[in-house]
Structure 1
Amino acid sequence: MKKLFLIIGAPGSGKTTDAELIAKQNSEITHYSTGDMLRAEVASGSALGAEIESYISKGLIVPIKIAIETIVNAIKNAPTDTIIIDGYPRSMEQLSALDDYLKSDIFLELCSVIEVYVSEDTAKERVLGRSRGEDDKVEIFNNRMKVYIEPLRDIKAFYSDKNLLHTIDGERTIEEIVLEMENFIKSKI
């Protein structure tokens, strides 16, 4: 049975870096970033990539059908039985679609949803300081933050009710965060 861990957090929370380091240190864990998967599709120059770009460039959420298709393909093709996906879900619609999929797949268990919590000021400082592209402009950051925060209470409530939500303080050093997250994941697999 495959074990799935989702990592959520504000833009700039460090969720992708944390998950990458954990996967690099543990050959039995595969990491996928929804953002990286979607950006790779954009970079491929495909028609799907152009459609994805039209959403990402405005700081909007990519439609559910595209996101779920990308995630399900990644899970099915993962080379390990433990998978970390960061940046998902970002809406109740995405959460519901994934929850429906999980109910139908008896070979996949959602072990935990890990929130990497940082303040909005920390998130803004980190994102605007990294200059990765169009999504790092103030207006786009503000929109991404708004899109992230609006459904957050409902997402956290849903996973809390299922006893799946685990929050980690993302204001510490990368080493401290990664160690805590890695130990937590290992305790569940």
Structure 2
Amino acid sequence: MKKLFLIIGAPGSGKTTDAQLIAQHHNDRIVHYSTGDLLRAEVASGSERGRLIENFTSKGNLVPLDIVVETIVTAIKNAPKDVIIIDGYPRSVEQMESLDKVLKLQNDVQLLSVIEVDVSEIVARERVLGRARGADDNTEVFNNRMKVYQTPLKEIQDFYSKMGILKRINGERSIEEIVKEMEVFIESKFKE
């Protein structure tokens, strides 16, 4: 059975870096996928779906639900290892509900936890605008991405809290401290 961990957090929370480091430290049994990377790979492929995705992401908007869920479920099913960490998902109540429905319909993937990397909007803004990697890293797009993240957040937190699988981690510390706490937590889930 595949064991799934989702990592959510504001733009600039460090969720992708944290997940990458954990997967590197445990590359014998953990594989990491960033929702953003999965979608960017589709864009880079030049496919029809990739062009559609780019229309949404270039404006900081959410990619349509069916495309995202299809991309994620395909990645989980094809994962070369039994433990999968996906960061940047879910980003909406609809994404959360859709994934929940898909997971309930099969029995070869178990969602063990949703880890929220918690940072203030001020810290997130400084990190994103400070790194400015591409066209989507400017103030206007950041503000939109932050709004898109924050709008459904309470409902997402409540949903996973009721399931007893939400874990919040302080993301305003050193990467080493955050990654260590996540690793200990993830390993504790294997023992349950």
After TM superposition, the score normalised by the length of structure 2 is 0.97
**Residues 11-160 of structure 1: matches in 2 within 5 Å?**
11-27=11-27, 28-160=29-161
CA distance in 1, matches of 2:52, 2:18: 29
Q: Which amino acid aligns with 2:132?
A: S
CA distance in 1, matches of 2:19, 2:70: 21
Identity %: 66
Residue of structure 2 in register with 1:182 after alignment: 183
CA distance in 1, matches of 2:164, 2:135: 37
Deviation for aligned residue 1:56: 0.3
Deviation for aligned residue 1:45: 1.3
Deviation for aligned residue 1:31: 0.3
In structure 2, the gaps of 5 or more residues are: none
The DSSP-based 3-state class of the residue aligned with 2:89 is coil
Of stretches 125-134 and 169-178 in structure 1, the one that deviates more from structure 2 is 125-134
Cα offsets for 1:88-146 (capped at 9, x unmatched): 00001000100001101111110000000000000000001111111101000000000
CA distance in 1, matches of 2:52, 2:178: 35
Residue of structure 1 in register with 2:3 after alignment: 3
Runs of 4 or more above 4 Å deviation: none
After TM superposition, the score normalised by the length of structure 1 is 0.99
